[in-house]
Amino acid sequence: SEKCSLGKNKTFLFSCVCYHSLIAGLNALDSKMGGLPLLVQRTIARTIVLQEIVGKGRFGEVWRGKWCGEDVAVKIFSSRDERSWFREAEIYQTIMLRHENVLGFIAADNKDNGTWTQLWLVTEYYEQGSLFDYLNSNTVTADEMIKLTFSIASGLAHLHMEIVGTQGKPAISHRDLKSKNILVKRNESCAIADLGLAVKHDSVLNTIDIPQNPRVGTKRYMAPEILDDTMNINNFESFKRADIYSLGLVYWEISRRCLDGGIMEEYQLPYYDAVSSDPSIEEMKKAVCEQKLRPNIPNQWQSCEALRLMGRIMRECWFTNGAARLTALRIKKTISQHCGQNSKA
């Protein structure tokens, strides 16, 4: 019979030919181990049949693959990027990381094709692709905008949250939040992906688990304190606050595509009208830190309650002073309250 027997605790009977049972098993294991044993991961990876390239990222290609009749995503790194592959796999296997708005990790493996070694990262597959792709080809209603923005805030709040206890979860900062690193699920909610640059915080020792190079990520989305090198890298809150600035830019991208504001604008990247298509640190620093520019929030948004709310949230994500920015949890609660008020109306 098509069953997946993922045994209790650390004993596994791997007879898995059912994708959905596997995902259920992974969810159950999350509080104990954070991921499957390496042998099980290897077994899964070696039975995947690659179908087509669906994207290219910083470290390689992303493929759609088939496993047990279901689609999975396979991110393929070259062997020279082994540290990046190992790091991302390590972050994804953090205990208690699994969340409906964070990309679901399945397996990591290295595959030798005879000429070179490929490093695989296998995750759940979302056919809608990235939020960037989705917004380029779709407009959204106010309700859809709220669903997208709420789900991203939920995923980020989960990453940022520390769960205390023996089987707890460290606080995690993403450090490269942007529309290309967020995936759109079939139900029109989002999942945050690409955790390769993320950092974990040890609250007991008050340490961050990798060398604290603050200038990583995508220049267009970098917070002012990263651009002008004033970020306090010894305070983990600084990393979370930088994520919030980036989140505000993603919200702007979504809101521009909303039909309910009386004006629906073509898709654009943040600061499209202020910097070049591939801006340098200096270019971004001049626009964001020296000229104090922020993406334009149209007056027409005032006529739509949902867009008015989003405009207010964005402004509170973009403060130059990181300590004044909203937290991911506060943003999640604010959007949730809006949904509650609308349902009563």
User: Tokens representing 69?
Assistant: 């009749």
User: Tokens representing 109?
Assistant: 């493996």
State the catalytic residues.
Answer: 176
Can you tell me whether residue 167 is helix, strand or coil?
Answer: coil
Instruction: Give the pairing of strands 190-192 and 70-78.
Output: unpaired
Q: How many CB atoms lie within 10 A of CB 48?
A: 20
Q: Is residue 130 within 8 Å of residue 295, measured between CB atoms?
A: no
Q: What is the DSSP string of 8-29?
A: STT--------HHHHHHHHHHH
Q: How many CB atoms lie within 10 A of CB 248?
A: 26
Distance of CA 73 to the CA centre of its chain: 15
First to last CA, the chain: 50
HSE on the CB side for 98, CA within 13 Å?
21
Binding site: what residues are annotated? Answer: 75
**Whole-number Å distance between alpha carbons of 326 and 308:** 16
Nearest to 66 by CA among 49, 87, 44: 49
Positive or negative, the CA dihedral 244, 248, 253, 255 is positive
HSE on the CB side for 133, CA within 13 Å?
14
Binding site for ATP: what residues are annotated? Answer: 75
**Which residues have CB under 8 Å from 94's CB, separation 6+?**
34, 169, 170, 172, 200
C-alpha gyration radius of the chain: 20
Positive or negative, the CA dihedral 205, 210, 213, 218 is negative
